[in-house]
Structure 1
């Protein structure tokens, strides 16, 4: 039996393939934190032009250096966590909820009921994939110019459209809304209402008092500065709270587990321990025996990390001239410890804090490099750190999946290496295709605004320029929203699970502060569809809801590839569908009549 599961999500690309062979399942997956929508694209000239600070500090994406960069930084996390796999999975028995859920899903395919359900799910996915793909083709015919098509439909009125409140008929975001928890979708909508319906109109009335009235809309010294930095403050507040929360739980759990071990016994590394069969069930004994059967020598993992780190330290300064070799060396000295913390914390909470470690690298390396070199150095360091700690936690999740599905750790590790190498080529190539097809990629208000690229770049600017880059009273508002994010999390943790699910998520609230609420409305439509479906038939909604959502997302996503090819070939849509107010329409009619 052979199954293929693909998951495309933002910058991550993951492929899982498994088959039965002599009682083993081999799992092949890869994930690349390319940062094409965040730190990497934040280096580009397109994003730099949207800011009035450090506009000359940019490095435009190029297929050659992106592939080279990913090759020298994407493997370190894999080698750093290999010697600890037995500690994580067998000795500490960390749950890794996502890895466990994936294992149960894979195992269910090998039962008659599971196979029958899987066939039905694939049929449903295919139907909605086709619908989403055809809907993308239909919309394309009406997008001959800027602001044309259904994506610019002022469904809630022209005034609401000006403040980024409208339904843009995106099958992708409707599907995402069906997958995301209700509270996440509600949090995004709440953040959009708080910012675009209340805060930004009020701050705009202070034009000329809090900031000069003649500034460009993209200037960080104007309204744009409030949008960007208040959003960053909430993201940092939420991220730092969860970082210290997970770190404290990690250290506490590690302390109690180590204290509970026999003080005379050595710390168990994958090469020198055997399962305690008398204390475990037969299934656990079998899993542990098979998990430890194919050894990956510790010396091999350590040597691999040292060799790749040396190559990376020598190579990266040639890719990013602002990133000095000693910055990289310091990162690689501390990275294994941070990778362990992230992998251990992910095993406890299912929460990877790779982006928080990346932001930490932005501020530390950016401040160290100084104002003249810090922006690009900080963003590049962010990419290095995120790749290491993220791949470490991802591989640990996959080891847990392999442990529960009787997979060979050695074959999994080799498959990870092969898959990561594939991702280093495939991911930049797809991004490069988008970059060439959509000339306005990363521009605010475009089809693909890449808001996190601007956020990450402005984090780097803040790290090297300090608070002098902020407009009047922006710093106090940032303090307030930073504290509010922490307070919301404290309240959420203080309440029980029964009530905590009604508390909004600060990270989700911060996203629309910069880009608007149009996608939040799409996501809420998806939530509404799922909610009604669950009320009508809960069993079918649980079984086929993810398949419907995946079909909507994949169909719309796949259409972007042929649309990109059409754009590269110079083929343009034949119709522009725009919406005007009655007064504007009268003026247009009068002009055309004259």
Structure 2
């Protein structure tokens, strides 16, 4: 096939697997992999810096649509869904496989304190570890989809928003987001008693396309590339400039003393601003409240009182390590409390058939209705699921044993980790479907608690087995948002399944290579990539083994845990009762993230949150693009810095250093030799 004929075949979308899945095309998968690789590098860089990554599902759909406008035959809505499904599966591997937390935590081990030397995996070992955990969540997705999307119709806000965006861009009637079998918070059967409050917005009744949707579509088609290009270029240029002049990203806004001694400086990263826009104003406010309490109140208190005598930034005996425990208490409590109604609902659903007497003595058992609207040839067969899960567990256990050895973790512990991951996936997916938040941080801590009992004293096993369990919950949750989008836009679940498998497979190589290069060029954790979540994993493992906390941290940990436990309970109740107060209650997880990161990360995100709030409330309706325009610009900011970070990595690898260390006297610049 000549190159011209191949290009025509690729552009026309003829390269599909079979006539039953026309949306699964070579061009859709190729574009999805390209976008996903960029997101993967971006998420790895940002995750190692702040512990926070983004699914980027809406951004992937937007960029895929913009790219498709350059082809002779634009992508269909179903192809766009395959694009964003493949991109998300590729881009979220840094978190799902633990490259931003688990592997850096293993590198922090101390033979004197932990009984084992630091573990630094080679490229081959890291790839084997990734392969061990990369597919379990993918094979969990089809049965979970059947339960939470088809039967219970959980809303999955991000997945629904992506479906609505795709419908707008392709001039389709808005997807039917009416919830026919759910009323309020709890899932009920269609023949349940009436009279329960039901607040549902059935956008399918609004007509084919409103005026606002038309203006957003016109904006994306005519101005989307321009805004994406200038935001991408600006963020990339600023990042490259900061590589050669590191002081640009460490501005001592409150003076050199506070910057050097108390880590109060500002990083004007447009990527952080873009993340703040994507997170939204409430989340960034919660994060900055945590930053203020942690770094302006508790950090000086612990230092001046002598509870944390080391340097403020020291994670072992400094204030940063002291406030880590308070953050850990907040995260565990907030996540656990928010899971209570989800677990309770899960138990109620399991018990409902018994209460309703489905198993009748006379054998006249009512048939359960199947609400699936896809034909069998478009679904993932259950035999594939069973074989895939079995192979994932067996092969994954063998690979983990080969990588870490019998002394690192017993094979039976890894098997339990996979089964625990399946259970936690059900809980995490339900929480994500209701609240748009996958509480994997809390779920990971639950798994660590269990393995502290199963293999007491073995910190390596505690971290690894916890990572195995968390990986399934994280991946299944991320992919479920995509399946919700596909369900609303009538895309083939099997085509999405193929995209998820391909994206996860490619991401093993991409993520492992990127992490290996970063690890060779930079100290991880270190000044440029502090990897804050690594200290959370290692800190909890040590606490569960030793039971010792830094001086007086237990009282503050208990107090803040109690406070945010009550706030989380009130927020959960307010969400169930449809109260408007819930959005004003700080998010415990975001509040704790403000503790984990230095103020420089949170301040920039607050700027993004403020931009999002002002633009949405004052300018979105006047501007032609509405909220979509800000999403495009934020995507350019995030991807621009992520892509140029690859350039910075290559420069660092080949020994190209900074041009000038002027202004780095405070010793905080990542690329200067003045770092203390």
With structure 1 as the length reference, what TM-score do the two structures score? Answer: 0.83
The whole-number CA distance in structure 1 between the counterparts of 2:415 and 2:466 is 14
Partner of 2:21: none
The number of residue pairs the alignment matches comes to 547
Partner of 1:426: 510
The whole-number CA distance in structure 2 between the counterparts of 1:333 and 1:214 is 41
The alpha-carbon deviation at position 567 of structure 1 amounts to: 0.7
* 1:196-207 aligned within 5 A: 196-207=295-306
Q: Does 1:39 align with 2:102?
A: yes
The whole-number CA distance in structure 2 between the counterparts of 1:425 and 1:227 is 36
Query: Which has the higher mean CA deviation after the structures are superposed, 486-495 or 257-266?
Result: 257-266
The whole-number CA distance in structure 2 between the counterparts of 1:140 and 1:333 is 44
Kindly tell me: are residues 24 and 571 of structure 1, through their superposed partners in 2, closer, same or farther at Cα, counting changes over 3 Å?
Answer: closer
The alpha-carbon deviation at position 39 of structure 1 amounts to: 1.7
User: Match for 2:224 among 111, 116, 121?
Assistant: 121
CA contact (8 A) 2:312 2:319 kept: no
Give a deviation string over 1:374-417, Cα, whole Å, max 9, x none. 21111111221112122222333322222222222222212211
CA contact (8 A) 1:133 1:558 kept: yes
* 1:90-489 aligned within 5 A: 90-111=150-171, 113=214, 115-119=217-221, 120-143=223-246, 149-161=247-259, 162-207=261-306, 210=307, 218=314, 220=316, 223-252=319-348, 255=351, 275=371, 288-290=372-374, 292-321=376-405, 322-371=408-457, 374-438=458-522, 440-443=523-526, 446-466=527-547, 468=548, 470-489=549-568
Give a deviation string over 1:540-587, Cα, whole Å, max 9, x none. 362311112111111112111111111111111221122659xxxxxx
Q: Counterpart of 1:501 in 2: which secondary structure? A: helix
Partner of 1:562: 647
Query: Which has the higher mean CA deviation after the structures are superposed, 59-68 or 560-569?
Result: 59-68
Kindly tell me: are residues 300 and 435 of structure 1, through their superposed partners in 2, closer, same or farther at Cα, counting changes over 3 Å?
Answer: same
CA contact (8 A) 1:441 1:448 kept: yes
Kindly tell me: are residues 489 and 478 of structure 1, through their superposed partners in 2, closer, same or farther at Cα, counting changes over 3 Å?
Answer: same
Give a deviation string over 1:126-171, Cα, whole Å, max 9, x none. 111111111122222223xxxxx11221122234323232322111
CA contact (8 A) 1:166 1:521 kept: no
Kindly tell me: are residues 304 and 528 of structure 1, through their superposed partners in 2, closer, same or farther at Cα, counting changes over 3 Å?
Answer: closer
Kindly tell me: are residues 504 and 214 of structure 1, through their superposed partners in 2, closer, same or farther at Cα, counting changes over 3 Å?
Answer: closer
Could you list the runs of 5+ residues in structure 1 that have no partner in the other structure?
Answer: 144-148, 276-287, 582-594
* 1:519-558 aligned within 5 A: 519-534=601-616, 536-539=618-621, 540=623, 542-558=627-643
Q: Counterpart of 2:127 in 1: which secondary structure? A: helix
Kindly tell me: are residues 394 and 254 of structure 1, through their superposed partners in 2, closer, same or farther at Cα, counting changes over 3 Å?
Answer: farther
CA contact (8 A) 1:125 1:551 kept: yes
CA contact (8 A) 1:222 1:471 kept: no
The whole-number CA distance in structure 2 between the counterparts of 1:176 and 1:195 is 21
Kindly tell me: are residues 500 and 296 of structure 1, through their superposed partners in 2, closer, same or farther at Cα, counting changes over 3 Å?
Answer: closer
The whole-number CA distance in structure 2 between the counterparts of 1:574 and 1:225 is 33
Could you list the runs of 5+ residues in structure 2 that have no partner in the other structure?
Answer: 1-11, 13-27, 48-52, 69-73, 173-213, 667-676
Kindly tell me: are residues 471 and 344 of structure 1, through their superposed partners in 2, closer, same or farther at Cα, counting changes over 3 Å?
Answer: closer
The alpha-carbon deviation at position 512 of structure 1 amounts to: 2.9
The whole-number CA distance in structure 2 between the counterparts of 1:460 and 1:303 is 33
The whole-number CA distance in structure 1 between the counterparts of 2:520 and 2:55 is 20
The whole-number CA distance in structure 2 between the counterparts of 1:83 and 1:237 is 29
The whole-number CA distance in structure 2 between the counterparts of 1:236 and 1:175 is 28
Give a deviation string over 1:312-367, Cα, whole Å, max 9, x none. 22331221221101112223344433323333333333332333222222222134
The whole-number CA distance in structure 1 between the counterparts of 2:573 and 2:139 is 38
Kindly tell me: are residues 139 and 368 of structure 1, through their superposed partners in 2, closer, same or farther at Cα, counting changes over 3 Å?
Answer: same
Q: Counterpart of 1:511 in 2: which secondary structure? A: helix
The whole-number CA distance in structure 2 between the counterparts of 1:506 and 1:93 is 27
Query: Which has the higher mean CA deviation after the structures are superposed, 288-297 or 214-223?
Result: 214-223
The whole-number CA distance in structure 2 between the counterparts of 1:65 and 1:177 is 35
Kindly tell me: are residues 267 and 100 of structure 1, through their superposed partners in 2, closer, same or farther at Cα, counting changes over 3 Å?
Answer: farther
The alpha-carbon deviation at position 256 of structure 1 amounts to: 5.0
The alpha-carbon deviation at position 52 of structure 1 amounts to: 7.7
